[in-house]
Amino acid sequence: MPPTTPGLPDSAVRRPGTVVAAPYKPPPTFPTRLTQQAKPIEVQVPPLIAGALVAAFAKALADGLENELLTHYYLGDQAVRVNLDRVLDRLLATFTHELWDELFQFYQEDSPPGAEVSRQVTRLFEGPVRQIVLLLNGPETSRCILDKIGPGLSQRQTTWSSSAGGIDLPLALQLLCGYWHREMPSQSPGGSPDEISRSLHTKIVNGAAARNLISEIRRVLLSPHHVQMHLAESAVWSMLLTKRPYPPPSDGFHIAQFKYECQLFGPLDGIADPQLVNLGSLPAITGTADDCMQTTVSAYVNAQWPRCGTLVLRCLEEAVGNASCSSRHGEAMSGMSVWDGADEDGPHCPGLRLIHIEVEEAVIRMSVSAWTHTMIEIFQQMCWICAALSASPFPGALSECAVEVSNWTYLNESVYVDCSLAHRPVPNGDGMSWLHQMRGAAIASGFPVQQLAPPQAAT
């Protein structure tokens, strides 16, 4: 006979019929979805059990990451403090959604395709599974995780988990399932709560969702290749929302001016015809000296910021071209470019209303009217471009470069942001072998390394 579903009575198991290629019936409504339901979607277990589960999960996750620390994010004195809680929130939201689907498939794998969900499985998902997902997808989980892999980096307070140490994940799940079975008998899935907790633990720790979560944390947080992405997001989020001294705009369009103190190499340095300036065709190096890639500017922009990246690059190219042309004619270096979203014949970028760029000697000013998430993408892109195309202050030597926010002020419901470049010289002999032929180049550090094309050594 086929095995029974772990933890549930035999009556909950539907014997397989004819095997056909058909998708599983969609699982019950995901608990965080905004839908009208008769039963409340809220945490219904005691704070001690809730805190124990969150703290135990964080410890199990840290063990799965071999207790590596987020060393790249201890940045010293910075005007902006990086917000890794929001990054973990996104990763945990994806994890809990995948876990929900994975558990449903696990408990329905013996059912004929398209069969109705049994009462026991429905109660399991409306009870213990829902509570687990709500708790792991809650705001305190990121704090507990960061306490393990990045002590001092979280910006949140602990509540439930403050006195829940010393309980491992199997016991925490056993406490939750046992509480539900004992205190919610009319909503209990039946069967053995201990067996249910053991099967849930196996999937939570060893399932595909868990493997994906660990892989994403290694890629997005433990590697050095997203530090500037997270810093730029944190800066915009803080300036436009958290520390804003007045209410946000009713239409969602914020206004910000970013001033970058930088000198772009290439067109402003006498390279290329000023009438044929094309920043997009210039080479750019992204990553670190030990792990980096070389692409053109346009190739990286199109891959990393597909929504508005090309538009922003085109505006910058126009402003740089005008500045280069003016300097060639003996005038003060000055170039400008404007894009207005009201132009129906122009390109469309969701959430973007206006771009105004001015290029002067060693200064780029960029004014933007956009929604918050669009503003984040544009700021990330400009930070990468300025770092990748900056002139290295160490002649003949490689350097890793990043943009830093030095200050910002508010005026007339707009925010004015001052940014500068920080270069770190790469010691002689360090770095990938093909970099040794590119002395004087600046590497844009803290941005994703995407293998769009193999690195080409200079000849």
User: In which band, very low, low, confident or very high, does the pLDDT at 306 lie, cut at 50, 70 and 90?
Assistant: very high
Helix (H) or strand (E) holding 59: helix 47-64
Higher-pLDDT residue of 75 and 114 is: 75
Residue 41 makes CB contacts below 8 A (sequence gap 6+) with: 31, 32, 130, 134
Of 78-82, 257-261, 436-440, the range with the lowest mean pLDDT is 436-440
- Percent of the chain exceeding pLDDT 70 equals 85
* Closest to 447 in 3D by CA, of 228, 263, 150: 228
Q: Which amino acid, 7?
A: G
Q: Please state, in angstroms and rounded to a whole number, the distance separating the CA atoms of residues 247 and 250.
A: 8
Phi and psi at residue 414, in whole multiples of 5°? -120, 160
Higher-pLDDT residue of 405 and 427 is: 405
Helix (H) or strand (E) holding 404: strand 399-411
pLDDT at 317: 92
pLDDT at 265: 67
pLDDT at 21: 36
Higher-pLDDT residue of 366 and 279 is: 366
pLDDT over 50 (residue 9): no
pLDDT at 264: 76
Of 18-32, 114-128, 347-361, 380-394, the range with the lowest mean pLDDT is 18-32
pLDDT over 70 (residue 74): yes
Contact call for residues 223 and 71 (beta carbons, < 8 A): no
pLDDT at 372: 97
How does pLDDT run across 312-324, given as a tens digit for each residue? 999 999 998 888 7
User: In which band, very low, low, confident or very high, does the pLDDT at 349 lie, cut at 50, 70 and 90?
Assistant: confident
Residue 380 makes CB contacts below 8 A (sequence gap 6+) with: 228, 229, 232, 233, 305, 447
pLDDT over 60 (residue 5): no
pLDDT at 332: 74
* Closest to 132 in 3D by CA, of 207, 36, 66: 207
Phi and psi at residue 401, in whole multiples of 5°? -125, 145
- Percent of the chain exceeding pLDDT 90 equals 66
Taking the model in full, what pTM does it have?
A: 0.86
**Residue in this structure with the two tokens 């180049």, named with its chain if needed:** 441
pLDDT over 70 (residue 51): yes
Contact call for residues 384 and 400 (beta carbons, < 8 A): no
pLDDT over 60 (residue 6): no
How does pLDDT run across 366-420, given as a tens digit for each residue? 999 999 999 999 999 999 999 999 877 887 888 999 999 999 999 999 999 999 9
Instruction: Outline where 119-223 has alpha helix (H).
Output: 119-124, 130-136, 139-149, 169-183, 193-206, 208-217
**Residue in this structure with the two tokens 């006195």, named with its chain if needed:** 163
